[in-house]
Amino acid sequence: MPTPAAPTRFPRLAVALAALGTALALTAAGCAGTDAPTGPAAGRSAPAFPDRVEPIAAAAQPALPVTVASADGTQVTVTSADRVIPLTGGLNEIVQTLGLGPRVVARDITATFEQAAALPVVTRGHEVSAESVLSLRPTLVLAETTTGPAEAVRQIRDAGVPVLVVAPAKTLEDVPQRIGAVAAALGVEEAGAQLNRRTAERIAAARAGVPGGAAKKPRVAFLYLRGTASVYLLGGSDSGAGSLLEAAGAVDTGKESGLGKDFTPITSEALAAAAPDAILVMSKGLASVGGVDGLVKIPGVAQTPAGLDRRVVTVDDGVLLNYGPRTDQVLASLVAQLHGKGA
């Protein structure tokens, strides 16, 4: 298991874990992977999708140079997109989907989808290695506000490499801005607009599967689990899952219960107050506690309606909170698991 750190593909979780303490952050973010979903709601199989991205039809040609605003308050001038290194899996996914995959020369450990899997890794665990990045002679590095350590990012920038910092997305409404920021830095704004149109259409199609009428909305608790590290967290209002659950026609119980933090340690009292009808977990996290059998042994889980019914919804770790070109697949999976036949 790689040694994890805060800058994971789940930036909201990284911030929350940092708030809980550095030691917790180092153990909790590990084991991110791309396992097939397990333990579906009501015993049904979660809709699976291939671990690959779908580039837009035409390969875009960057129109450079451009100067763009970075989320860290700097202005970044990009003169070449020939050798791009995205430092998170979500950013790598966007670049690849924009049709610029051949220009990506490295990846971080979280970019495990098919098109990126064979690229050299420039992180140790989840921490960026400035030496590894610079050895590949990048013309543009893409990072997020949670990418670290800060010294490594600064060393890359001090070497004269343009580093664009992109704000992490927290809701569906953030998706177009995130795609647009990457496309602008690469000099492919029209490709970005095309990808945003496609993404919006697919998200709308996924949302159309939510039952209408006066049907009772399922109450869903988002749990972050790493059994090997004894990390059991309950998602709050800023976990990143709320927007997805609401779009899928569900109630985010952490948000409704007034949990203001991103994540907070699970307690029997908090679960009792949440009273979820279903529990959302990442597939790797569920596996880390021994599947549904292990999940219901966590104090308080078995006493919830979800625990009593063994109703568990799973989505692959690699895409759940990315908020990017594959978010429609995540949303469609949630809709199917929460509202499908036998739900």
State residue 13's pLDDT score: 53
Label residue 73 left, alpha or beta by phi (over 0 means left) and psi (-120 to 50 means alpha).
Answer: left
State residue 261's pLDDT score: 80
pLDDT in tens, 322-336: 999 999 999 999 999
Confidence of residue 47 (pLDDT cuts 50, 70, 90): low
**What is the three-class DSSP state of 125?**
coil
Amino acid at 338: L
State residue 135's pLDDT score: 98
Say if residue 41's pLDDT is above 70.
no
From CA 2, how far away is CA 15, in angstroms rounded?
Answer: 19
Mean pLDDT of 264-272: 93
pLDDT in tens, 202-226: 999 999 999 987 678 999 999 999 9
Say if residue 1's pLDDT is above 50.
no
Confidence of residue 301 (pLDDT cuts 50, 70, 90): very high
CB atoms within 10 A of CB 77: 11
CB 51 within 8 A of CB 89: no
From CA 225, how far away is CA 227, in angstroms rounded?
Answer: 6
Residue 101 backbone dihedrals phi, psi, to 5 degrees: -55, -40
Angle between helices 175-186 and 189-207 (to 10 degrees): 160
pLDDT in tens, 69-118: 999 999 999 999 999 999 999 999 999 999 999 999 999 998 989 999 99
pLDDT in tens, 17-40: 444 443 333 333 333 333 333 334
CB 151 within 8 A of CB 128: no
Confidence of residue 48 (pLDDT cuts 50, 70, 90): low
pLDDT in tens, 105-141: 999 998 989 999 999 999 987 799 999 999 999 999 9
Q: Name the nearest CA neighbour of 288 among 230, 222, 209, 201.
A: 230
CB atoms within 10 A of CB 103: 20
DSSP string for residues in 75-90: EEEE---SSEEESSHH
Q: What's the mean pLDDT when you consider all of the chain? A: 86
Q: Name the nearest CA neighbour of 11 among 91, 73, 74, 68.
A: 91
- Taking CB atoms within 8 Å and a gap of at least 24, the contacts of 57-63 are 58/99, 58/191, 59/99, 59/100, 60/98, 60/99, 60/100, 60/186, 60/188, 60/190, 60/191, 61/188, 62/100, 62/186, 62/187, 62/188, 63/187, 63/188, 63/189
